[in-house]
Amino acid sequence: MARFAMLAALVALALLLWLRLAQPAAPVPAPQRTARYNGTVLGDVRAQHEGSSFLFALDAGPTVLVSAAGVPPRIAQHLRLRGRLLPFDGPRNPLEPSLRAIQAERGITARIASAQILAHLPAASLRDPRVLGARLHAWAYAQLRAHLPPVDAALLAGELWGERSDLPPELRAEFQTTGTVHVLVTAGLHVGVMAALALALFGVLGLPRAWACALGALLVWSYVAFSGAHLPSVRAATMLSFVLAARAYGRSALSWNALAAAAIVVVVARPSSVSSASFALSFSCVGAIFALLPLLEPMLEHRLPRVPHRLREAFALTLATQLGTWPLSAAIFLQFSSYALLANLAVVPLVGTTMLLGGAQLLLSPLPLFAQLAANVNAWLLAWMLAAVHLLAMLPGARLPMTPAPAWCIAAYDLALLGGTWLWSRGTRSLALALLLCTSALVLAPPRTQNTTLRVTALDVGQGDGFVVQSPRGHVLLIDAGTPAMGRLVVLPFLLRHGIHAVDAIMSSHPHAGHAGGAIAVLQSLRVGALIDAGVSPPNATYEAVLAAAAAAHVPILHVRTGAIWRSDDGLSLRSLAPTRPWVAGTPRDMDENSLILRLRYGCFTMLFTGDAGDVQEARLLAAGAPLRAQVLKVGHHGSAYASSPAFLAAVQPRIAVISVGRYNRFGLPTARALAALRRAGARILRTDHDGAVSLAVSGRRDARTHRCAIGIGLGDRTVRPNA
């Protein structure tokens, strides 16, 4: 009877999994005009500059991510808002992951940009499970905040159902730095904790093993439903269901058969999830536990006989998961967390207890005295977790920027880890360690392909500029870097994915946030030779932060003057053409007009970078007889009406015009006037809003057939072919 009950429970769970995962993916919406939408706030409510962002369940529709003006709403509020429904992007820059796939993993199919909240509506029907979940989360969060400090409550909400929007950004960054951010994402750790707590409880109650496993599986799936039933937690629950089934029948719970069965179910139900980062991390983590735990546990028991069994087990689990997942984590998050093992040892063993006390606090909410008692005990443990994460994140070298290793390097490490455990168990320990060290070196310092051309990449940084110049011998110049957010999310990842850990110079055309702000992330993470600007315009708050980051990193700040030339040892030169004295003054656009203007030369190739300079500076350059001729023009001020005058374009004679501009920007850029002028000049127009990143590959030699300087062009995430 017990086994029949176990089988019935697993069949029910399999049906739930199939209904959850095998339903057709929601179609990617086409961009729509501004319209009105009704829906319920699900969570992840984050305050932003002049507004907020939050998850929003449209009535009888998909879940979307909303960016709205005004006061942030509360979880479970039913709203009517007006905005534009847009699809998420695929890769927009070279080697960039697909934002569309990442959000689909979270169950989010689209976004509503520039929304305005029009009205608060009566509560939505609870027939939609998303609305019911939001109401439960709102109630639970209110109970946690009633008895815990705000940061403790936010941390506990992250543990219990993945709601971490109220955690301060600097604290989220510390969890990322220490490799403990998985504590805040409902997935394998939390589902495993629930299974362990359930088995311990049913064991105390004296239930037969099969019944305990069946009820444990049902409790796990109930928790998954409460936490939002996102794909990572569903996948973890599937694996645990097979583990519990094996345990119910007296088989080894740490079984490769159980892991394989879970993988088959997930692959059949949602084939697209196989390529996701969370799929790889989930199965790497569990596989490492299965492979290493039988070796680590007796070793630790022999070495640390006086340490309690539970502590040894926690250490073995932490060590196994870290050994199994660090190469993937480094490739996905572009960092190596030096103290991840220590941080996880300090934090992970407490997750089960804090979750148990948090659950007790919710269950005891009708009895405030007992709920407060549970919260008081929990506050000590949460304080320890926060202090450990903060302390380790502040240590020198806590976060080392990483270039993602190729898949074959990670596969070689995984094979060495599996083979090494087999060799170690047979006494061949020196060979096992040698294999592991050699393949670890491949992951830490992956081989790089030799670049034989000059490459100039106009990154898609939204409404701003961000250009990366790479010379054949590895010299790197960064000409503007977008906003601070784009520097962190686009520019720095691009550099790391291309194996760039040192930048010769960051050249800031002018202090506007969309040009200079992204330099902060680069200055804080990579080696930078110099920060170069024109030294004209007074710094604003963003540029003050850039200067502070340069000072903290001991990067010299240089003010370039007209006529100055920067040269590399492989034939690249960059000449400053402006701003010219006397500085432009008395116009509405003084800061723009005093932009640093640079002319790049490499062999027969020339490119003109104009920052946000407009017709005033263009007229000055023409009057001074500056050398403006260039095959490629970085169009001034994102294609505005007061730049790219006919006389200026006649002097430049560009073959290619690159416009760095944000999609759906509120300024209406690029203007029809600028586009028409560029077409009349005979230039091929490339735009980051339409094309994504624009990559140019140049050998510096003329094509033998056309006798023109050969330029290879790549758009979006496509690799540029030299001399195409």
Per DSSP, what are the bridge partners of residue 208?
Answer: none
Give tens-digit pLDDT for 123-151: 888 888 888 889 999 999 999 999 999 99
Residues 545 and 653 reside in one and the same domain: yes
| The pLDDT value given to residue 41 | 94
Assigned token pair, 463: 């409404």
Domain count of the fold of the chain: 4
- Tell me, yes or no, whether 648 and 555 share the same domain: yes
Q: What is the Cα–Cα distance from 521 to 484, expressed in whole angstroms?
A: 7
Q: Locate 548 and state its tokens.
A: 């502070």
User: 592 and 567 in one domain?
Assistant: yes
C-alpha to C-alpha distance for 692 and 714, rounded to whole angstroms: 10
Compute the distance between CA of residue 531 and CA of residue 328 in angstroms, rounded to an integer.
Answer: 33
Tokens 């999830």 belong to residue: 273
pLDDT band at 582 (very low <50, low <70, confident <90, very high): confident
The residues, ordered by sequence, that sit 6+ positions from 333 with a Cβ below 8 Å of its Cβ are 176
Same domain, 524 and 597: yes
Place of tokens 């088959």: 264
Residue 22's pLDDT is 44
Read off the pLDDT of residues 344-403 as tens digits, 9 standing for 90 and up: 999 998 999 999 999 999 999 999 999 999 999 999 999 999 999 999 999 999 999 999
Pair (484, 355) in one structural domain:
no
Instruction: Look at residue 318 and give its three-state secondary structure.
Output: helix
Neighbours of 151 (CB within 10 A): 15
CA distance 270 to 350: 33
Q: How far is CA 522 from CA 334, 482, 550, in A?
A: 13, 11, 10
CB of 685 closer than 8 Å to CB of 715: no
pLDDT over threshold 50, residue 49: yes
Work out the pLDDT band at 302, boundaries 50, 70, 90.
confident
Residue 211 and residue 202 in contact, taking contact as beta carbons nearer than 8 Å: yes
With respect to residue 723, please indicate whether it lies within any of the assigned structural domains. no
Strand 466-470 to strand 454-458: parallel, antiparallel, or no bridges (unpaired)?
antiparallel
The pairs formed by 646-652 with CB atoms below 8 angstroms and a separation of 24 or more are 646/677, 646/680, 646/681, 647/618, 647/619, 647/622, 648/615, 648/618, 648/619, 648/621, 648/622, 649/677, 649/678, 649/680, 649/681, 649/683, 650/681, 651/621, 651/622, 652/608, 652/628, 652/681
Q: Shortest CA distance to 182 belongs to which of 152, 162, 196?
A: 162
Residue 717 is predicted with a pLDDT of 82
Of 20-34, 202-216, 286-300, 350-364, the range with the lowest mean pLDDT is 20-34
- CA distance linking residue 349 with residue 310, whole number of Å: 9
In a domain, 403, yes or no: no
Please name which of 170, 230, 193, 191 lies closest in space to residue 43, comparing C-alpha atoms: 230
Secondary structure letter of residue 132 according to DSSP: H
Summary count for the chain: helices (H), strands (E):
25, 24
Q: Which amino acid, residue 231?
A: L
Select from 58, 109, 92 the least CA-distant residue to 661: 92
Cα distance between residue 191 and residue 175, in whole Å = 20
**Res 16 pLDDT > 80:** no
Gap between the Cα atoms of 512 and 468, Å rounded? 18
Does residue 218 form part of some domain?
yes
Query: Residue 82: helix, strand or coil by DSSP?
Result: strand
Task: Please check whether residue 366 is in contact with residue 313, taking contact to mean a CB–CB distance below 8 angstroms.
Answer: no
Q: Distance between CA 713 and CA 704 in Å, rounded?
A: 18
> Which residue type, as a one-letter code, is found at position 643?
A
Strand, coil or helix: 28 = coil
Final residue in a domain of this structure, among 374, 396, 418: 396
Which DSSP category does 25 fall into? P
Give phi and psi for 683, each to the nearest 5. Answer: -85, 145
Question: Best-predicted range by mean pLDDT among 217-226, 289-298, 611-620?
Answer: 611-620
* 625 vs 98: CA distance, rounded Å: 46
Q: 381: closest CA among 159, 186, 194, 175? A: 159
DSSP string, 664-703: T-TT-PSPHHHHHHHHHTTPEEEEHHHHSSEEEEEEEEE-
469 and 538 share one domain = yes
C-alpha neighbours within 13 Å on the C-beta side of residue 578: 32
* Global model pTM greater than 0.95: no
- Is 355 found in the same domain as 216? yes
Task: Judge whether 387 lies within some domain.
Answer: yes
Overall average pLDDT of the 148-164 stretch: 93
Q: Are residues 464 and 483 in the same domain?
A: yes
Compute the mean pLDDT over every residue in the chain, rounded to the nearest whole number: 88
439 and 460 inside one domain: no
H-type helices in 526-680, by residue range? 541-552, 590-593, 615-624, 646-652, 672-680
Split at pLDDT 50, 70, 90, the class of 31 is low
Dmax (CA) for the chain in angstroms is 95
Residues 73 and 203 in one domain: no
Neighbours of 348 (CB within 10 A): 19
How many Å apart are CA 9 and CA 245, to the nearest integer?
Answer: 10
Q: What is the CATH number of the domain that holds 650?
A: 3.60.15.10
C-alpha dihedral (412, 413, 419, 425), degrees to nearest 10: 170
Q: Are residues 214 and 324 in the same domain?
A: yes
Instruction: Grade residue 694 by pLDDT with cuts at 50, 70 and 90.
Output: very high
Q: Is residue 211 part of a domain?
A: yes
Tell me how far apart the alpha carbons of residues 713 and 722 are, in angstroms, rounded to a whole number: 8
The whole domain housing 371 covers 2-20+149-283+296-396
Residues 15 and 49 reside in one and the same domain: no
- The 10s digit of each residue's pLDDT in 427-471 is 888 998 999 999 999 999 898 877 889 999 999 999 999 999 999
Q: Is residue 724 part of a domain?
A: no
Residue indicated by tokens 């932060």: 545
Segment (H or E) for 38: strand 35-48
Q: Answer whether residue 697 is part of any domain.
A: yes
Residue type, 254: L
Residue 17 pLDDT class (50, 70, 90 cuts): low
Closest CA to 192 of 363, 329, 352, 17: 352
What CA–CA distance (Å, rounded) separates 175 from 196?
Answer: 24
In a domain, 129, yes or no: no
Question: What is the number of residues in the chain?
Answer: 724
